[in-house]
Structure 1
Amino acid sequence: MSTKTDELNDLIEVTRDGKRFYEHARDEVKEPQLKALFTDMAQAKTEVIAALQGKVAANADTPATGGTLTGKLREVYADTRAKLSSDEGATYIAQLEEAEDRILHAFEDAMDAHEPDLRADVAPLLPKVRACHDRMRDLKKAQ
């Protein structure tokens, strides 16, 4: 596997963490608006993952199929905080916004890489990643 494939697979894993976290949060919250938002955000992550998987497959390599331990730990932490909180929605929003920070930073780091092919693969996805991040950041600030 090439360094480029490794980097793309890292992005797949961190994005998959976000997707799974949104799906989990959707199943945990009671507010219909948050359920709808979390569904939309999970779908956006699905689209990014599919695009990244296509780039890895185009290199005749195998795309990552899992997430990361950090992503799973963040989910468990959010569950624990939500159970102790009087506002589970706000707890999940705060934790999901942090997950969005992690995803955005991973994509920005990939853009800072010295490998032009990697930047070319990541650049078209960055607006969607940034839009998801900004949506959760704005929602967190509005609370």
Structure 2
Amino acid sequence: MTAERAGAIVVRAEDAERVELPAGGAFGLLVDGDATRGALGANRLTLGVGANGARPHHHAVSWEFFQVLDGAAEFLLGEELVTVAAGGAVAVPPLLPHAFGAAAGSTADLLVVAAPGVRRFGYFRALGDVTRGRLPFEDLRARQEEYDVYFGASAVWEAARG
């Protein structure tokens, strides 16, 4: 359960909602944008060895910040692939197409912060259902504007990650 202390939001690890993903991955839902009056949203994403995290997309409004807590992650930034190991970070501005996943042969543990924050927990829950085959991807595509997640394509990403 999320607790508020003097206006601060406290989310203990055991209280964060967990959305399971394939290959042992999961989203830990920490703070949704509505809880911060749109200032930011945050989640923790763990990915299994070499697993994809997000296909190519961009955000019209939000910056997206990734801190690699453990392992290594591969990022598509525009049409450039960049690998970032534990301790490194990536800040993606609005409109820049990007994608990410665990680097080949590695797991990835990421803290992900979007600012400004939008109500995106519903997106992560739906994405979990899509990855488990419970929901068609088109359901997410139909809600791109609501979640500030606009899907695209990248030949570079497809060639590197399939």
- Structure that is richer in helix per residue: 1
Greater fraction of residues in strand: 2
TM-score, normalised by the number of residues in structure 1: 0.26
Q: Which protein, 1 or 2, shows the higher relative CO under an 8 Å CA cutoff with sep ≥ 6?
A: 1
